[in-house]
Amino acid sequence: MAVQEEEVALERMEIKLYNTLSRSLETFTPLKDGVVSMYHCGPTVYDYAHIGNLRAYVFADILRRTFEYNKFSVKQVVNITDVGHLVTDGDDGEDKMTKALKREGKPLSLEAMREVATFYFERFTDDLKSLNIETPHEFPRASDHIAGDIEIIEKLQEKGIAYTTSDGVYFDISKFPAYGKLGNISLESLKDGSRVAVNPEKKSPADFALWKFDATLGWDAPWGKGFPGWHIECSAMSREFLGQPFDIHTGGIDHIPVHHNNEIAQSEAAYDAPLAHYWMHGAFVTMNDGKMAKSAGGFVTLKTLEDDMVSPLAYRYWLLTAHYRSPVNFTLEAVRGAQNALIKLMTAVSNLPEGGTLVAGYGERFRASINNDLGMSQAIALIWELLKDTAVADTDKRTTILNFDRVLGLKLGSLAPVEEEKVPEEIQALADAREEARKAKEWEKADALRIEIENRGYVVMDTAGGIKILSK
Ligand code: AMP
Ligand code: ZN
């Protein structure tokens, strides 16, 4: 262990990251030496997260782990949107949380909204744990930070950048000439896009809501009761927890044209300082080559994957075999293939004896891969190469792989496949009962059995060669 720590404490190496703002690979320079502040747009907690949403947080996690591996101290914020996100990214359509209240037959009240949001927030944190994603340092909920929204809107009003109409307070984009700089978005494309509904009271069709009036549901504000726009929430929460500017802001690519350009416009116009220095965006998970979206229904969750005996860690492995900026098309077969590979890897690691040291040459190559815009697929390939390398002692292989797993987060040292004849009888019985329940499509029962198996320290995965039981 001591040797391992020593090796990682080498000189801090250069980290290159793709910055959407400059549309180029840049060498990362933090605002404060040795410290990284990051804000990741979090989920709208009106439903379960689908596996596409979760890719955004696996990406944030490998970014954090890469910095930590390079001995940076990281402060990471993931917000929870529990109010204000409309079904479109623009200013019209129903509020997603209101939609959830109706779906679940709950009253239209802030209390009921909070309750529904809390339920899905907890499911989201369960998902993060299953994917071995490090818990962010802060999880602010938008509904707890309304005062911060109001403060920025008041500032914008004072500066003459916001104006009031009969249905809300709007940002006047003519006052922010740099509007659209992220991703080089042209105003024309926004006007033609779906986000801009005809609203004769707006000065420009591309102006966006900072606050929407609602006489029955919402919070009191100087200009009238209602609720904040989705974009202002991120400006307020990032400012409160990280200050302005902070280092890195991330999200999925869908956030570039509207949400992130709006965050930039509000924060930069209000405080005459950049919002964040680096903007990073993760590509989408598609299904049948189409977009996977909560609003489209029929999406895949970690739970549905687990019903198909695919472990969340196998999904994580599968994601890491592609670069975060490459779109990936989900198929069960592809993720099952990743699961086979992961089990093989876990088997190999569990057969390696303890007690070695980090192999310097491999360590350097690993760092070069991850520090080159998070090259995780190269890092995984390197592990396979190392396993085959007959010039390296088995003990050193183990130590080196476990060192790399601090970034990959695949639990390579803590899960080990159990030989069939060594599986305890009661675990085998539970696994068989689960199989029966699955065949009978009794999903709740199958799920309860899975949890029971996990509580006893085992994990069951389906592979090409049949069911495999792993122990923790
Ligand atoms: P939402 O809950 O809709 O606010 O989205 C949460 C996060 O998931 C955001 O960073 C989105 O950009 C991201 N996201 C949404 N759909 C997908 C998808 N199909 N693949 C990857 N990321 C997605
Ligand atoms: Zn955001």
Across the strands, what pairs with 27? 16
| Choice from 233, 254, 330 to test ligand 1 binding pocket (greatest atom count within 8 A of CB) | 254
Question: Is the pLDDT assigned to residue 145 strictly greater than 90?
Answer: yes
Confidence of residue 86 (pLDDT cuts 50, 70, 90): confident
Please give the number of the atom of ligand 1 that sits closest to the Cα of 253.
12
Predicted pLDDT of residue 372: 98
Distance CA 356, CA 395 (A): 4
Mean pLDDT of the region 349-355? 94
Per the model's pLDDT, the better-predicted residue between 173 and 205 turns out to be 173
Question: Is the pLDDT assigned to residue 471 strictly greater than 90?
Answer: yes
Average pLDDT, the chain: 92
Distance CA 388, CA 256 (A): 42
Whether 291 and 284 have beta carbons less than 8 Å apart is answered as: yes
Whether 232 and 259 have beta carbons less than 8 Å apart is answered as: no
Whether 37 and 75 have beta carbons less than 8 Å apart is answered as: yes
Residue with tokens 């200050």: 243
Nearest to 261 by CA among 90, 62, 135: 90
Please give the number of the atom of ligand 1 that sits closest to the Cα of 292.
19
Ligand closest to the CA atom of residue 326: 1
Predicted pLDDT of residue 293: 62
pTM: 0.94
Question: Is the pLDDT assigned to residue 11 strictly greater than 70?
Answer: no
Residues 306-322: pLDDT tens digits? 988 999 999 999 999 99
Predicted pLDDT of residue 260: 97
Which residues are within 8 A (CB) of 191 and not within 5 positions of it... i.e. 6 or more apart?
A: 205, 206
Beta carbon of 84 within 6 Å of any ligand 1 atom = no
Phi-psi domain of 80 (left: phi exceeds 0; alpha: psi -120 through 50; beta: other) = beta
Distance CA 276, CA 57 (A): 19
Radius of gyration from C-alpha coordinates of the chain:
24
Residues 417-432: pLDDT tens digits? 899 899 999 999 999 9
Mean pLDDT of the region 92-117? 89
Beta carbon of 259 within 6 Å of any ligand 1 atom = no
Whether 401 and 349 have beta carbons less than 8 Å apart is answered as: yes
C-alpha 49 to ligand 1 mean position (Å): 9
- What amino acid occupies position 266? Q
Phi and psi torsions of 288, nearest 5°: 50, 35
Nearest to 82 by CA among 228, 293, 226, 225: 228
Structural tokens at position 258: 């509207």
Q: Is beta strand 168-171 parallel, antiparallel or unpaired with respect to 458-463?
A: unpaired
Handedness of CA 452, 454, 458, 463 (dihedral sign): positive
Predicted pLDDT of residue 300: 93
Beta carbon of 229 within 6 Å of any ligand 1 atom = no
| Choice from 44, 46, 47, 53 to test ligand 1 binding pocket (greatest atom count within 8 A of CB) | 53
Beta carbon of 251 within 6 Å of any ligand 1 atom = yes
Residues 362-382: pLDDT tens digits? 999 999 999 999 999 999 999
Predicted pLDDT of residue 464: 74
Distance CA 322, CA 58 (A): 12
Confidence of residue 182 (pLDDT cuts 50, 70, 90): very high
Mean pLDDT of the region 107-125? 95
DSSP string covering 360-384: HHHHHHHHHHHTBT--HHHHHHHHH
Which residue has its alpha carbon closest to ligand 1 atom 11? Answer: 252
Question: Is the pLDDT assigned to residue 4 strictly greater than 60?
Answer: no
Which residues are within 8 A (CB) of 20 and not within 5 positions of it... i.e. 6 or more apart?
A: 182, 183, 256, 279, 280, 281
- The fraction of the chain above a pLDDT of 90, given in percent, is 80
Beta carbon of 213 within 6 Å of any ligand 1 atom = no
- The gap from C-alpha 185 to its chain's centroid, in whole angstroms, comes to 24
Residue with tokens 């009271």: 201
Beta carbon of 281 within 6 Å of any ligand 1 atom = no
Beta carbon of 239 within 6 Å of any ligand 1 atom = no
C-alpha 109 to ligand 2 mean position (Å): 24
Distance CA 288, CA 428 (A): 36
Residues 219-267: pLDDT tens digits? 999 999 999 999 999 999 999 999 999 999 999 999 999 999 999 999 9
C-alpha 153 to ligand 1 mean position (Å): 26
Across the strands, what pairs with 250? 40, 280
Structural tokens at position 255: 């956030």
Residues within 5 Å of ion ligand 2, judged at the Cβ atom: 41, 234
How many CA atoms within 13 Å lie on the side-chain side of 59?
30
Question: Is the pLDDT assigned to residue 206 strictly greater than 70?
Answer: yes
Whether 66 and 407 have beta carbons less than 8 Å apart is answered as: yes
Per the model's pLDDT, the better-predicted residue between 98 and 239 turns out to be 239
| Size of the chain, expressed as the number of residues it contains | 472
Confidence of residue 183 (pLDDT cuts 50, 70, 90): very high
Whether 122 and 267 have beta carbons less than 8 Å apart is answered as: no
